[in-house]
Homo-oligomer: A and B are copies of this chain.
């Protein structure tokens, strides 16, 4: 009767993000995931990769055991 969820402290895109406009992206992930909203968090392409930037999550949607986040990239790491 419990509801599995996953606490996430960074955004791991795996290159699946979609640009909505300028620096606003949408990313859909499997499962129900809890993210901090409006708090700067790391964006990475892979879990073990380097940080590619910092983002603010603006919106989180949970449905059909999937999580869709909309995030605003607020800084990009120059190494990328």
Contacts and interface: CB of A to CB of B under 8 A. Distances in A.
Nearest to A57: B62
B3 A41 contact: no
B1 A47 contact: yes
A41 to B, nearest CB: 7
Contact of A34 (B12, B34, B38, B58): B34
A74 interface: no
A4 B61 CA distance: 17
A32 interface: yes
Interface string A1-36: 111111111101000000000000000000011101
Contact of A3 (B2, B12, B37, B61): B37
